[in-house]
Chains A and B, each alone.
Chain A
Amino acid sequence: MSSKTLVQAINDGLRCAMARDPRVILLGEDVGVNGGVFRVTEGLLEQFGEERVIDTPLAESGILGTSVGLAANGMRPIPEIQFMGFIYPGFEQLVSHVARLRMRSRGRFTLPMVVRVPFGGRIRAPEIHSDSTETYFAHTPGLTVVVPSNPYDAKGLLLASVESEDPVIFLEPMRIYRAFREEVPDEYYTVPLRKATVVKEGTDVTVISWGTMVRETWTVIQRLEQERGVSVELIDLRTLSPWDEDTVMTSVNKTGRAVVVHEAVAHLGLGAEISARIHEECILQLEAPVARVASFDVPPPLFQLEDLHAPTPQRISAGIEKVFAF
């Protein structure tokens, strides 16, 4: 065990994956000599050589499109897209090919590839560097979308993603890359995909979140429980698609109330789908309509206002109080 940030845990996960399986290679912009713009791949070029840690031309469709061929022909590529706001030139490759090759070849070709993407806002980054557009990918059947919220899960989910025979979009919340440390095992381990985790048990309301917002929501919950005397259950979804409906429905059937908190905009954010499914499955147990706390339906503003765009502690708190006031 050693104390690691999220960045260090992912770096350690990549190292473990590459040491274990010679088919695993990294490719992307600045991932080699520079060790990635966030230093996620630092030291890996030196350890594994330039055939396995590859600085590519600046071309997202090329990175993702060649990863299709690499994965279909026996490698296990881990392409990095530098920021979520820059993934769109490769969007066609993801939705028309990556997500569909298994189906389009009736299982002949599979794509064991993990697309690593730093995402989310509130790091004072320039424009277009703060997107939380996970819905685009979660909306696409065939893709698996994973978001860790802490260093332990980050390493375990990454290794499970590398083991997956299906393509995974692995979203890394930039705001918590170095926000805190956690004990992370040095050895190889996996955290299962498609499995949410109950971060904290409670009896009166279920709060569902992922990525950066899990820790921020947890802080709000602690205060609310003390001040209001309510008991809150917090679920970290971890895999956004296909998501763990059983864990969510079991919890909501117990608590009778649900709130979804995410950094993506409200309109057709994943909260919309989760809310709809809860209403379909748990309507008779619900004490109040499911509430959503999300970013406003505007593009991420320049950084002076970005903290007010994303859910603030006040808005998270109000969202939870709302389901009690109904």
Chain B
Amino acid sequence: MFKSSAEAERELQGAAVSHPALAEFGDKPADIEDTLLIRMYEEMWKLRLFDRRAVSLQRAGRIGTYPPLEGQEACQVGATLALRPQDFVVPTYRDYGAMILHGVPMENILLYWNGRAEGCVIPDGVNVFPIAVPIATQLPHAAGIAWAAKLRKLDQVALGFFGDGASSEGDFHEAMNFAGVFQLPVIYFCQNNQYAISVPFHRQTATATIAEKAAAYGVEGVRVNGWDAIQVYRAVHAAVEKAASGGGPTLIEALTYRYGPHTTSDDPTKYRPAEETDAWKARDPIATLGEQLRAWGIWNDALETELQERMQHMVSEAIGRMESAPPPNPEDMFLHIYAEPSPRLLRQREEFLASLGRPGGRQHE
């Protein structure tokens, strides 16, 4: 259950200077296998390297506006690795890390942020919903997906990501309420990175936490350290087990921080002191987990070198596939509007293609 408001508020205010994950490493978790601990670390690096390369691509004009996730890797890795393949990820625009981990190819994410329809493709069998752009609108979708699973008696849960800003939207309230009333197998996972673009958390809500809002819906609320992938994993894993066994929804709030701007069009120095960002970076969640793995004797320099090379190679390959994609096919904009295009739409497409000098033809055959 969530902590008392006063306690949570102290943690929020003091998080940057007295982070609990760093107090001591403690013993290696007995409930999580070594391979999974290592996988968490590897996946966090995968997302960070992907993210940094994507920002560089944007700065070089090779993709469009991009919303970096750096800093939030422990949240997305811990949460997504706790899901089963049949479970649904319902993401926002910053949760492409979760999308990648749940099976969406990296190059699709890059193509999407490069304004390409091909990037919207989610492979069959990969249970990921399209990125939701309007804030909090994905949360009712997650409830509906979970509701269908319940009605169809499927062993499946849905996890809807959202941020602290989304908790102010009506759709957050409506989704939480439906989840509670119908006891849906859904998990709402808030990455509270403490800023909605520039607006700080205390301007979103007068409550000290997001987690305590769950009580208003008859839903269990949990607050975790979003700087600690292991803690996130445990919370989501427990919520999946609960949901899958008929125990209903859970709201999980993970306290985290985004290192970079809201998007590549944003300048966070206008609203955040550099010292604050530096303090969070000094206690970086990936570096911390790496130190833990070494302390527990399951990680070393040779593995680290191999990991960095492997992940850089993987990201480079994805970038190569993105950049070697043929030019966009203008006809694509007419596809997938209806199951059957209307005669009018077909006429518009025909006239458009004729204006391009290739009636009825496709550019890349």
* A interface, CB within 8 angstroms of B: 25, 51, 56-57, 59, 61-62, 64-75, 77, 89, 92-93, 96-97, 101-110, 141-142, 144, 164-166, 194, 242, 245-246
Contact = CB atoms under 8 A, between A and B. Distances in A.
A109 B130 contact: yes
B339 to A, nearest CB: 4
Given A56-B178, A110-B339, A144-B338, 16 more contacts: A57-B177, A64-B140, A66-B140, A66-B147, A69-B143, A70-B147, A73-B148, A73-B152, A93-B140, A96-B133, A105-B120, A105-B130, A107-B335, A109-B129, A242-B338, A242-B343
Most buried by B among A64, A68, A101: A68
A102 B151 contact: no
B338 A62 contact: no
Contacts of A93: 137, 140
A203 B358 CA distance: 41
B307 interface: no
Contact of A106 (B117, B158, B174, B338): B117
B122 A67 contact: no
A75 B338 CA distance: 18
A59 B336 contact: no
Interface of B: 88, 90, 117-118, 120-122, 124, 129-130, 132-134, 137, 139-149, 151-152, 158, 170-171, 174-175, 177-178, 181, 335-339, 342-345
A108 B148 contact: no
Given A75-B152, A92-B137, A97-B141, A242 B171 contact: no
A75 B152 CA distance: 8
Nearest to A241: B342
A59 B121 CA distance: 31
B112 to A, nearest CB: 10
Nearest to A107: B336
A67 to B, nearest CB: 6
B339 A166 contact: yes
A69 B336 contact: no
B147 A65 contact: no
B143 A65 contact: yes
Given A104-B130, A141-B337, A246-B343, A57 B144 contact: no
Most buried by A among B146, B158, B177, B336: B336
Given A97-B137, A103-B336, A242-B345, A66 B171 contact: no
11 contacts: A25-B151, A57-B174, A65-B137, A66-B147, A69-B148, A72-B148, A74-B152, A106-B121, A110-B339, A166-B338, A194-B342
Most buried by A among B117, B174, B343: B174
Given A25-B151, A74-B152, A108-B124, A69 B140 contact: yes
